[in-house]
Amino acid sequence: MSFFLGSVDPLLKGGVGWVILVIVLVKVLVGFGALMGAVTLMIWFERKAISDMQSRIGPQRWGPFGILQTMADGLKLILKEDLVPEKADRVVFKLAPYLVVVPALITFSIVPVGGTLHIAGHTVMLQIANPPMGILLMLAMSGISVYGVMLAGWSSGSKYPLLSSVRASAQMISYEAALGMTIVTIVLATGSLSTHNIVDAQSGGIWHWNLIRLGVVPFVIFVIAITAELNRPPFDVVEGESELVGGFHTEYSSIRFGLFYLAEFMNTITMSAIIVTLFLGGPAGWVPNVAHLRWVFPIVWFLAKTVTFAFCYVWFRAALPRFRYDQLMDMGWKQLIPLSLGWVLIVAGFIVRPAWGFLMIAIVLLAWIVLTRAFALGYSRERGDDAILRTVGRRPLPGSVLRASTDEES
Amino acid sequence: MANFMTFFGGFKLTLQHLSRPTVTTSYPQHKRAKQPRQHGRHVLSRYEDGMEKCIGCELCAGACPVDCIYVRGLDNPPDHPVSPGERYGYIYEINYLRCIHCDLCVEACPTQAITESKMFEFSFTNRADAIYTKKELLVDDQGIPQRLPWEDWREGEAAMTGGWMRATSPNGEAAYEGVVQWTGDLGFGVRAAEAGQSANRDDATTGSKQLRNVFPRHLLPEDVPLDQRGVQGMINQAKAKMPRRHRKDSN
């Protein structure tokens, strides 16, 4: 048992005493508290930044620069009446928010926030857990949170949430494939699933970051796919106000709605942290030789990188209009999944031998040509000249059709 | 490729907006200056000799699209007439739960008796307060609109009634722009004409501001007025911000 635990975390190598229990407990509590604090700040930051980008003022009433606005909103939500619709499936309806929040919390536990510390003769990693399956935990958790969204919409007993949950499940599943493929390239390059090892492999300068080492393509695919996975703008068709009222949480009120809100922003922070971990070397960065304070700098680097990505998400929301649902699906299945698959092949080829790499590039190019032709054919059969089913209701109608249908026989 | 780069135009624009001043203000603490033709709570005005202008003709009630005005006229008592005409309005009520501040009553009035002030920040806690009677609407003996406890009047607003009538020629003819066609008010005399589009407009006295002068930094480059472009424009803007007493060319 202790051997198994030791392979997970050097802290647990020599059995579990009470000192170690306290250390683990403190790690968990600090992580939880920091994440919760970060979420309140993130909500405030998003509202403030987006109002600046729209030449508005934004929250301003509570605390300096309105920084306590989230607290006020949370308090308001807790004190509101908690409604369950009559047609709702009560058990599932009440369960769904927790299915979204708990995975959001758990995902953060695998993110390495800093390097290692030495406390009372023990080596402490500045991450809550370092399970051997590492990054797979993140995929699993994002898979479970799909259930939360899906069940929330289904159990509401209302049509718009149902439509929204159908969209959510389709969207999240189709983007998870591209997401998984890019993670495969990272795992291939690192040779380990553990996030600690992934970060370790990237330490030693900016040229060792996966962002540059794997080519920029996996990074771009990952950012797009994770934005879709988060249901954040421009991929928030799940919550499209103009079409679906509030989306899957239309029927939710009070603290249950608050939990969805919390989970959404918690996921934004967590996924920013995951991007930093996977592609930007996590806490890696320049560390000045200051006695006793060397452990602080990796944390600062990590925070700086994460905040940058959090800002990027806000920026996306301000700058980009929402995708149409079919555009979203086209992008996921026709572009991101083939591209990420091809890139996995190329990276795998280069890891074995450069010659194999170039062969893979040739194969991928060939496949790209075939695929492009196939898509063109498909489009032509669906909507083009040799369409099997003619398009109905094209507007404006051609003049000949209009005349035939309106003019009297002469 | 050009099409692809326009994709990033939104990112650039939103970043630029970070450094621009906000359009909105922090409302209850900072209140923006009202426009000269702002529609607010109504005022029944009086002539310079203290006579009421209202003649009880009920044209305002007829013009009102939401039927919020109730007027009844009565013959003037011969020994102490209330208005210079034959009749006067002895009941005049406006229901502010219905009023939409469209100012059609002001346009309909043949004697400029009913005008609108710029005061719009008033709220009430019961229905009786919402129905203003002649007692509340009529100006007092100094010609100042009455201030009810729940109304938020700002400095100098009491003197700014009747904006629409003095804005351009009331009958809409451009030739009459700036020409006085209105009667005097109790306590103020014949009020000055407000800004039209003519050369003799006096923005400084009437408080008119053009939007493009208020928000020059929010305009597209080609919409910026010629006198506010380039280095000379920056100098002009700085001059406009200076207090009036430091300005040499005070008009």
The answer to whether the peptide bond before residue A398 is cis (omega within 30 degrees of 0) is no
Say if A282 falls within a structural domain. yes
Distance from CA of A381 to the nearest CA of B (A): 27
Tokens of A267: 């996921």
- Residue A291: which H helix or E strand, with range? none
Q: How far is the C-alpha of A349 from the C-alpha of A214, rounded, in Å?
A: 12
DSSP state of A222: H
A49 to chain B: which residues are within 8 Å by CB? 18
3-state secondary structure of B38: coil
Q: How far is the C-alpha of A338 from the C-alpha of A371, rounded, in Å?
A: 9
Q: How far is the C-alpha of B9 from the C-alpha of A149, rounded, in Å?
A: 33
Q: In terms of Cα–Cα distance, which of A322, A314, A319, A323 is closest to A58?
A: A314
**φ, ψ of residue A209 in degrees (nearest 5):** -65, 145
Q: How far is the C-alpha of B245 from the C-alpha of B235, rounded, in Å?
A: 17
Find the largest Cα–Cα distance for chain A.
Answer: 102
What confidence score (pLDDT) does residue B120 get?
86
Distance from CA of B14 to the nearest CA of A (A): 5
State whether residue A319 sits within 8 Å of chain B by CB. Answer: yes
Q: How far is the C-alpha of A339 from the C-alpha of B235, rounded, in Å?
A: 55
User: Which range among B105-109, B142-146, B217-221 shows the weakest confidence by mean pLDDT?
Assistant: B217-221
* Amino acid at the residue A99: L
B21 to chain A: which residues are within 8 Å by CB? 55
3-state secondary structure of A265: helix
What is the per-residue DSSP string for B56-88? ---HHHHH-TT--EEEEEEEPPSSS-SSSSSEE
Q: How far is the C-alpha of A67 from the C-alpha of A69, rounded, in Å?
A: 6
State whether residue A61 sits within 8 Å of chain B by CB. Answer: no
What confidence score (pLDDT) does residue A153 get?
87
B22 with A318: Cβ contact below 8 A? no
A319 to chain B: which residues are within 8 Å by CB? 10-11, 13-14
State whether residue A54 sits within 8 Å of chain B by CB. Answer: yes
B18 with A53: Cβ contact below 8 A? yes
B10 to chain A: which residues are within 8 Å by CB? 318-320
> CA dist A78 to A72, A81, A102, A254, A266, Å?
10, 8, 19, 6, 18
Locate all alpha helices (DSSP H) within A156-253, ordered by sequence.
159-190, 195-202, 210-213, 216-229, 241-244
The answer to whether the peptide bond before residue A10 is cis (omega within 30 degrees of 0) is no
What confidence score (pLDDT) does residue A172 get?
84
Q: What residues in chain B have their Cβ under 8 A from chain A's Cβ atoms?
A: 10-11, 13-15, 17-18, 20-26, 218
* The total number of structural domains that make up chain A: 1
Distance from CA of A125 to the nearest CA of B (A): 38
Please name every residue paired with A184 in a beta bridge, in sequence order, or none if there are none: none
What confidence score (pLDDT) does residue A118 get?
76
Say if A397 falls within a structural domain. no
Say if A403 falls within a structural domain. no
Place of tokens 């939409």: B100
**φ, ψ of residue A397 in degrees (nearest 5):** -65, 145
Predicted confidence band at B147 (pLDDT cuts at 50, 70, 90)? Answer: confident
Q: What is the pLDDT of residues B20-47, one digit of tens each?
A: 777 888 888 877 777 767 788 899 988 8
Q: How far is the C-alpha of A279 from the C-alpha of A126, rounded, in Å?
A: 19
What confidence score (pLDDT) does residue B250 get?
43
B23 with A55: Cβ contact below 8 A? yes
Mean pLDDT, rounded, of chain B: 79
Q: How far is the C-alpha of A42 from the C-alpha of A311, rounded, in Å?
A: 9
B18 with A52: Cβ contact below 8 A? yes
Q: Which residues of chain A have pLDDT under 70?
A: 1-15, 120, 385, 387-397, 405-410
Say if A388 falls within a structural domain. no
Please name every residue paired with B91 in a beta bridge, in sequence order, or none if there are none: B72
Residue A320 has its nearest CB partner, among B10, B22, B24, at B10
Sign of CA dihedral A66, A72, A77, A81: negative
Q: How far apart are the first and last CA of chain B?
A: 53
Residue in chain A lying closest to B10 (CA) = A319
What confidence score (pLDDT) does residue B177 get?
67
Distance from CA of A317 to the nearest CA of B (A): 10
Q: In this model, does residue B173 exceed pLDDT 70?
A: no
Domain extent, residue A239, equals 2-352
Say if A293 falls within a structural domain. yes
> CA dist B115 to A201, B37, B82, B94, B105, Å?
78, 11, 19, 13, 8
CB of A330 within 8 A of CB of A174?
Answer: no
Q: In terms of Cα–Cα distance, which of B118, B119, B57 is closest to B92?
A: B57
Distance from CA of A75 to the nearest CA of B (A): 23
Place of tokens 């280069």: A350
Q: How far is the C-alpha of A114 from the C-alpha of A296, rounded, in Å?
A: 8
What confidence score (pLDDT) does residue A1 get?
47
* Amino acid at the residue A220: V
Q: Map out the domains of chain B as residue ranges.
A: 42-206, 210-251
A55 with B14: Cβ contact below 8 A? no
State whether residue A327 sits within 8 Å of chain B by CB. Answer: no
CB of B106 within 8 A of CB of B165?
Answer: yes
- Residue B143: which H helix or E strand, with range? none
Residue in chain B lying closest to A52 (CA) = B18
> Which is it for strands A122-125 and B69-75: parallel, antiparallel or unpaired?
unpaired
Size of interface A-B (CB pairs under 8 A): 35
Q: In terms of Cα–Cα distance, which of A85, A227, A233 is closest to A153?
A: A85
Q: What is the pLDDT of residues B55-99, one digit of tens each?
A: 989 999 999 999 999 999 999 888 888 888 889 988 999 999 999
* Amino acid at the residue B109: C
Residue in chain B lying closest to A56 (CA) = B22
Residues with Cβ within 8 Å of B102's Cβ and at least 6 positions away in sequence, in order, are: B39, B65
Q: Considering the domain B42-206 in this protein, what is its CATH number?
A: 3.30.70.3270
Q: What is the dihedral of CA B27, B29, B32, B36, to 10 degrees?
A: 100
State whether residue A318 sits within 8 Å of chain B by CB. Answer: yes
Say if A369 falls within a structural domain. no
State whether residue A64 sits within 8 Å of chain B by CB. Answer: no
* Amino acid at the residue B123: S
What confidence score (pLDDT) does residue A389 get?
64
B27 to chain A: which residues are within 8 Å by CB? none
3-state secondary structure of A297: helix
Q: How far is the C-alpha of B23 from the C-alpha of A57, rounded, in Å?
A: 8
> Which is it for strands B42-44 and B87-95: parallel, antiparallel or unpaired?
unpaired
Q: How far is the C-alpha of A84 from the C-alpha of A150, rounded, in Å?
A: 17
Q: How far is the C-alpha of A25 from the C-alpha of A283, rounded, in Å?
A: 22
Residue in chain A lying closest to B24 (CA) = A56
What confidence score (pLDDT) does residue A26 get?
87
Count CB atoms within 10 A of the CB of residue A197: 18
Residue B22 has its nearest CB partner, among A56, A318, A319, at A56
Distance from CA of A44 to the nearest CA of B (A): 16
Q: How far is the C-alpha of B89 from the C-alpha of B52, rounded, in Å?
A: 9
Q: How far is the C-alpha of B18 from the C-alpha of A50, rounded, in Å?
A: 9
Predicted confidence band at B247 (pLDDT cuts at 50, 70, 90)? Answer: low
Q: What is the mean pLDDT of residues B206-220?
A: 63
